[in-house]
Structure formats: structure tokens, C-alpha cells
Structure 1
Amino acid sequence: MLDFVCGDPVRFLPCMHTYHQDCIDDWLMRSLTCPTCMEPVDAALLSSYQTD
């Protein structure tokens, strides 16, 4: 896993795990679960946040 760098686009899942946006979007295209805790992810509930 890569560390977050200031300005990286990140995505928070409803379970509060945070991932690089490109990485998690690719994952969620294949599986609508969090890769860490395997909680189901409702795509409609996803939130995005751009780090400063």
C-alpha cells in the first residue's frame, strides 16, 4: 500500500476506511465490499474528499 500525499484524491467508505480514489474505484468495480473489513459498500453512499 502507498502512503497518502497531500493533494491525493482519497475516498472514504461508509465503514470509515480510506483509500486512494483510483485504487478503491478499481476495486469496487469488481467487488462492492471494503477490502479491509469486507463490509458491503453501497455505491450510492460513497463520499469523496480531496486532501490538502
Structure 2
Amino acid sequence: MLRSHSLKLDFVFASILVLLVGIALFATDQDAYAPSSSDDIPQENQYIHADK
């Protein structure tokens, strides 16, 4: 009984760890993509204004 309980806790801990790692990777991906896309938009606007 103690063994199954510890295995259950290990599984829960592993799932939480995987979830946190997934969230961390997703957050870093968002941080990596957000500046590049926001940087591209002003550059395009600058080119459009420069052409006009």
C-alpha cells in the first residue's frame, strides 16, 4: 500500500514537473516570438511611411 502510494505521488510529481516544463517552454517561445513580430511591424510601418 505504501509502495503504490509513493508510486502515485511520483507520478503526480512527474506530471506536475512535465507541466511546468511545458509551460516554461511555451512562455519562452512566446517571449522569443513576441519581440520579433513587434519589431517587424514598426519596421514595415517605417518603410511604408518612408515610401509615402
TM-score by length of 2: 0.28
Instruction: Give the number of the structure whose alpha-carbon radius of gyration is greater.
Output: 2
Instruction: Name whichever structure is richer in helix by fraction.
Output: 2
Instruction: Name whichever structure is richer in strand by fraction.
Output: 1
TM-score by length of 1: 0.28
